[in-house]
Amino acid sequence: MSAQTMHAGELGRRTVGLSESTTGYLTEANAERLVKTLCRVRGAALKLGQMISIQDSDFLPPQLAKIFDRVRESADFMPAAQMHAQLERELGKAWRDSFAEFDEQPFAAASIGQVHRGVLHDGTAVAVKIQYPGVAESIDSDIDNLMMVLKVTGMVPPGLYVDKVLDAARRELAMECDYVREAQCGRIFSGLLHDQPRLNCPAVYDALSTARVLTTALVPGVTLEHTEDMDQQTRDTIATLIMEHTLRELFEYRLMQTDPNWGNFLYDEARGQLNLIDFGATIQYEQHFIDHYIEIIHAASTGASVFVFELTLKPAEIATVPALHSLIHTGVDMVSILYFMTAPCRQCVFSVTCWTVSCRL
C-alpha cells in the first residue's frame, strides 16, 4: 500500500510503530514505542505529555499516567554540533568568550529546550536555556500531527476533551517559545517579590539572552517531588509559601505563571527559600475574570453549592456536556468540604488552599 493511498489511521499507527490490531488503550509494547516517539518529537508532543501527566491519578488510567510520567521526565538532548550552531545564531560566533566555563552536557531538558550550566567571568553561576531549532515554527503542524496520533491510537481516556487540551498546548507553546517575553515576565515577578525574602526569582542576563536563548542566575534547590521526606513543619512552610504566592498572583498581581509543573519550584533548604523559575507560560488576567472567580470562592465559603455551580458554568463553552457537569459537581463538593473542614483553624484567606497543598506535599 502506498503512502498516497494508505488510510489515515493506518498511517498514524505506522508513524508511532503501532500494530494494526491496536485498539483502545495501548499495550505495554506499544506504550514503550509511543514514549520513545514522543521524546524524539519534543515540542508539542512532549508538552502534551507534560500537561496530561499532571492530571489527577483518578482521572487517568494508570497505564496512561505512567506513559506521560516517563515523557515528562525524559527528553532527547540536542547533538553538540546542533547546540553550538544554535548558540552561534543567537549569541554570535564568539559566544563562548562570554563564559569562563560552559558545560557541554545539559543538566535538564524540557518540552522546547535544554538547559546548560555556565559560569561567567565574575564567578556567577548561570543557567543557559537553549531552544530546540525549529520548535517555534512547527507548533501548528506538530499539534495537528499529534492530534492524528491520539485519535488513531485510542489512547485518550473518556472525559478528556483532547481538542481543548491541544488548543491550550498550542497557546502555551507559542508563549513559551518567546524567551524575550519570558525574560520580561521574570523581571516583573522579581519586582513584585522584592519585599518577600522567602521567595526568589533568578536574575536575567540580557546580554546573553535572545528570543531563542535565555540566560539567568543558576539558583539552588530541590524540586517539590523531592520534599516528601522532609519534616512536616518544612512541608507546611513550603505549602504556605506556594499558596500565598498563588493567591497573590491571582488576586493582587493578576499575573500568574500557569505552567502546573512542580519542577518550576525549587526549595533551598539552607536558606528556607523558594526559588521560582520558568515564566514562559505567564498570563495576565483581566479584572472581570478575577471578580467572577472571587464570586465562586465566596459562594463556596458560604456553602452555596448551587450558586457555585451556576457561576462556574457561566463562562464555559462546553458546559452542556454531561461529563463536565459531573466534574463541576465534584469540584463544588471538594471546595465546600475543604472549607468547612478547615473552619476551626481558619485565620486568613490562605487557610483552605494552604491546608490542601500541605496534604499533597
Residues labelled as active-site residues: 259
Which H/E stretch holds residue 222?
Answer: strand 222-223
Pairwise CA distance, residues 310 & 139, whole Å: 36
Pairwise CA distance, residues 340 & 303, whole Å: 9
CA distances from 94 to 84, 89, 208 (A): 11, 10, 12
Q: Residue 150 is which amino acid?
A: L
Q: Look at the alpha carbons of 319, 306, 283, 274 in this order and tell me if their dihedral is positive or negative.
A: negative
Pairwise CA distance, residues 95 & 207, whole Å: 11
**DSSP states along 296-352:** HHHHHHTT-HHHHHHHHHTT-TTTTSHHHHHHHHHHHHHHHHHHHHTGGG--STTHH
Q: Among all chains, which residue has been given the C-alpha cell 548561570?
A: 126
Pairwise CA distance, residues 128 & 101, whole Å: 12
For residues 47, 50, 54, 55, the Cα torsion angle rounded to the nearest 10 degrees is 50
Query: Residue 102, class by beta-carbon neighbours within 10 Å (0-12 exposed, 13-18 middle, 19+ buried)?
Result: middle
